[in-house]
Structure 1
């Protein structure tokens, strides 16, 4: 448990300061009037293989911010005058201290890179897995103000469309995966399954750089107020035209909460859970309270497009599924960092609400369903904190039945780190469940007959774009309902040419110019920031 358990740890924030030296030590007096010379400063130098502490370069910025930080209680920005070189040197030392595979980073001269971002891009391993994929595919940065806007409010710029890439190079197939509630796209009448044909008179199959740039900007990079024209084909074959104006979209991470009664009278709770972001907490609590009131027998959580996010929220959901009887005296996740970091205590099952504006626990106990089994709908877009949920529950012998596709395979995480108006994400840790298992870098695999550690009992099926999410006739949900009644997988006829959709723009391996979507806050990422325990005296 979190509130009273020694497993709960505070987040320790390391702050660097200046050390002041006084004259004439020991507090003795002197009649000599000694004037210290003014301090001299010089640009640091790079020496291959020699790393100064990252704290020596922290917040030394080429363009220091002035004024107060609205995301830090209006405290003054910590920035001081520096240079691009000092920013690079901070990245270099910070990566050497915290990167999971720090010994696989090539220590290149920072002056050989034209920008801070170009230097950061190569501060990672370029080793490959046995399957030929790069071991690190999750290394990126973004403006800090964008990070806080999305992290604290769930607000992003766009139309409210979450895309699925069936094919990312010509002939492209880009379809609507789901829509944010009350968004420009939803209000215009777009639906799940709609296929993009043309944007601003540019065919989706263009293979010129100019055409691809237009598509990327209109589809993935609009700012609030931008207007673009779309032609789409609906599932029934009808072509439709829309003019969409981008806005600041508040994400709806929990959708389609419903209780379904099967033919034999079993009550099944269903919810679509899209992202482990902080604003999901009250929505998840509301869903669990509804399921408790409805007295459900089984639970189906649709994680097919949930790319991850806050491990704390994943832990809270695991607790709400399993309840105190099944989680007491167990931990949720054991963090494993590089050999330069001290071993940390395990991550607990969090049983209380968290104030995510401060990352402090409250005294409010979470509701729970006390279930020993849960159904999870998955695709290769099910990543990170979503995979941790599956693995964490399996670690305490909660039965997980996986319906859909193999998950993405990202047993890694990070703590977002801010420096000079940029937030950096680099792989800093991996982890294991209570049973010590955490190696699923090739994904968790649904199968009727599990044989390997990464196998999960279930049914392997393709995503179904011909039905809306939450429709009991949609392939994955229908299969879960069938399995609940029959304890077996349905016989489903699927096209041998069917492709698994992905919400990532990096899925294609065919020749051609690929589209490139912007990276959102928790797309295929896991944030392991720990909440502080509840304060003494908080009400329960």
Structure 2
């Protein structure tokens, strides 16, 4: 466990980037714009196959350096210096060679043979396949640093507040509303879970032209604050509805639908929908646990079906609040495994204190706990990363996890979101294991009434139910969990197959492409980040 009132938490994140650290800059309080001085011609970098300069010597030399002060780093001057695209590429190359988990599987191609920095970064990863034939690395991406810090520090994204779900195979192109952010533009004008998109700005969802797909992508996934689009949907009752919706800056509501449900047999069951492990979720999780304590819940259901991950620190806090000190017994929550160029990290504990996620210091305030030895987790293929670490961490201390829904996404990997020249990069840098040393769930955790393998979890397979609202006891996955509670751990005979694939596009509409034409590898990542805090004790 974590007991240190003055301990600072230096966050390392994975696969979506929710670290709240600054992106550089000196310690000077001078607020005048930083001058941009070109490097001497003699220092221009060159590429030699197999020879790697230290990444620190190449960092912050930018083709288009920023000037002025960084609003996300205490208004410190930007660290950018005048450089070139080659500088940026060679920094990426060295950084990848130093930190990428499978660095020896990267082909060392000439960076000058790639037109852009983005194209060069895209291939700085393994091309190996898993035993099942899937890509070994599906989690390699980047985003503008401004977007990263805006979401990380406030949970704010630009969009409508709709979290979309693609249903079935990519060719089916069935797009439905998975859930809505509270008080968002979409929720205020009447969008509901289950609404199925028919057309956008007059273009059918089934268009087969590139121009049409571009219109759909723009209207659904790329709206910026102030943009308005017309979306026609079919609701669950069969009625067609036309909405003119304007994008705004959306404050995410990661904890929703907190309630206590009494089953037919009189069992008090706590339920909460938890969508993303971001820092602003801490307050909601604490409030939910305190409510469940007051309500004397006997069982707990956590709805992770659309939770693509987030801060590992928050995942550890939630695991502690579920299990409590009596079940944790000072065992570890997570242990990283990095490449052979990196030092061995200290094990990561169950955290039993609140964290100030703006500074990454413990507040010294103890977390409430439920002291439960069993928890129900609702899952889909969009349940990823820090959500899977929660499952694995509790299994590592022999807490009983019951999985209801579909096989999780399978991402036992993490990385540090790293900033350079106004872009934040994510490349896999570690995997993780629990207290028992297990972390081999790259194919996901699978619910089954009769577990046989290490990645099998006791539970029931059932399809996501878009015809009922989340938190409704009649909704398919939740009703299956309640049945399992009331019937001595058995699955209902009518449990539906979860063979229909669901891909969730998270939060409000960040830049994703409409399947099947230009789907990126990381479409299904949602907020798939796994965050690793290193505990640095102050003297």
Q: TM-score scaled by structure 2?
A: 0.90
- Residue-by-residue CA offset, 1:365-419 (whole Å, 9 max, x unaligned): 1111111000000010000000000000000011000000000000000111111
Equivalent in the alignment of 1:328: 329
Q: 1:45 to 1:517 in 2, by over 3 A?
A: closer
DSSP 3-state at the match of 2:310: strand
Would you say the 8 A contact 1:138–1:525 is kept in 2?
Answer: no
Q: 1:166 to 1:188 in 2, by over 3 A?
A: same
- Following superposition of structure 1 onto structure 2, how do residues 255-266 of structure 1 map, counting pairs within 5 Å? 255-266=256-267
Would you say the 8 A contact 1:207–1:513 is kept in 2?
Answer: no
Pairwise CA distance, 1:512: 5.6
**How far apart in 2 are the matches of 1:179 and 1:531?**
35
* Structure 1 unpaired stretches of 5+: 19-37, 506-510
DSSP 3-state at the match of 2:451: coil
DSSP 3-state at the match of 1:49: coil
Matched, 1:525 2:529: yes
DSSP 3-state at the match of 2:42: coil
- Following superposition of structure 1 onto structure 2, how do residues 68-87 of structure 1 map, counting pairs within 5 Å? 68-87=69-88
- Across the aligned residues of Structure 1 and Structure 2, the Cα RMSD in angstroms comes to 2.6
Equivalent in the alignment of 1:33: none
**How far apart in 2 are the matches of 1:241 and 1:203?**
13
- Residue-by-residue CA offset, 1:486-540 (whole Å, 9 max, x unaligned): 12111115379x61322159xxxxx96356699699622323244655x68xxxx
Pairwise CA distance, 1:76: 1.2
- Residue-by-residue CA offset, 1:178-203 (whole Å, 9 max, x unaligned): 00011111111111111000111100
**How far apart in 1 are the matches of 2:301 and 2:46?**
56
Report the count of equivalent residues. 510
DSSP 3-state at the match of 2:264: coil
Would you say the 8 A contact 1:445–1:456 is kept in 2?
Answer: yes
**How far apart in 2 are the matches of 1:503 and 1:115?**
29
Pairwise CA distance, 1:61: 1.1
- Residue-by-residue CA offset, 1:45-83 (whole Å, 9 max, x unaligned): 110001111011011111111111111111111111111
Would you say the 8 A contact 1:415–1:529 is kept in 2?
Answer: no
Pairwise CA distance, 1:329: 1.8
Pairwise CA distance, 1:435: 0.5
DSSP 3-state at the match of 1:218: helix
Q: 1:175 to 1:16 in 2, by over 3 A?
A: closer
Q: 1:521 to 1:532 in 2, by over 3 A?
A: farther
Q: 1:268 to 1:17 in 2, by over 3 A?
A: closer
Equivalent in the alignment of 2:32: none
Equivalent in the alignment of 2:454: 453
DSSP 3-state at the match of 2:119: helix
Would you say the 8 A contact 1:7–1:345 is kept in 2?
Answer: no
**How far apart in 2 are the matches of 1:124 and 1:386?**
24
Would you say the 8 A contact 2:5–2:364 is kept in 1?
Answer: no
Equivalent in the alignment of 1:63: 64
DSSP 3-state at the match of 1:387: helix
Q: Which has the larger radius of gyration?
A: 1
Q: 1:493 to 1:321 in 2, by over 3 A?
A: closer
**How far apart in 1 are the matches of 2:516 and 2:333?**
43
Q: 1:253 to 1:15 in 2, by over 3 A?
A: closer
Equivalent in the alignment of 2:503: 502
Would you say the 8 A contact 1:150–1:521 is kept in 2?
Answer: no
Q: 1:429 to 1:188 in 2, by over 3 A?
A: same
**How far apart in 2 are the matches of 1:44 and 1:142?**
25
- Following superposition of structure 1 onto structure 2, how do residues 158-173 of structure 1 map, counting pairs within 5 Å? 158-167=159-168, 169-173=170-174
Q: 1:480 to 1:3 in 2, by over 3 A?
A: same
Between the two structures, name the one with larger relative contact order (CA 8 Å, sep ≥ 6).
2
Equivalent in the alignment of 1:267: 268
DSSP 3-state at the match of 1:333: strand
- Following superposition of structure 1 onto structure 2, how do residues 453-492 of structure 1 map, counting pairs within 5 Å? 453-486=454-487, 487-492=489-494
**How far apart in 1 are the matches of 2:88 and 2:414?**
23
Equivalent in the alignment of 1:304: 305
Pairwise CA distance, 1:167: 3.9
Equivalent in the alignment of 1:97: 98
Pairwise CA distance, 1:40: 6.5
Worse overlay, 76-85 or 139-148: 76-85
* Structure 2 unpaired stretches of 5+: 13-20, 27-38, 507-514
Pairwise CA distance, 1:298: 0.6
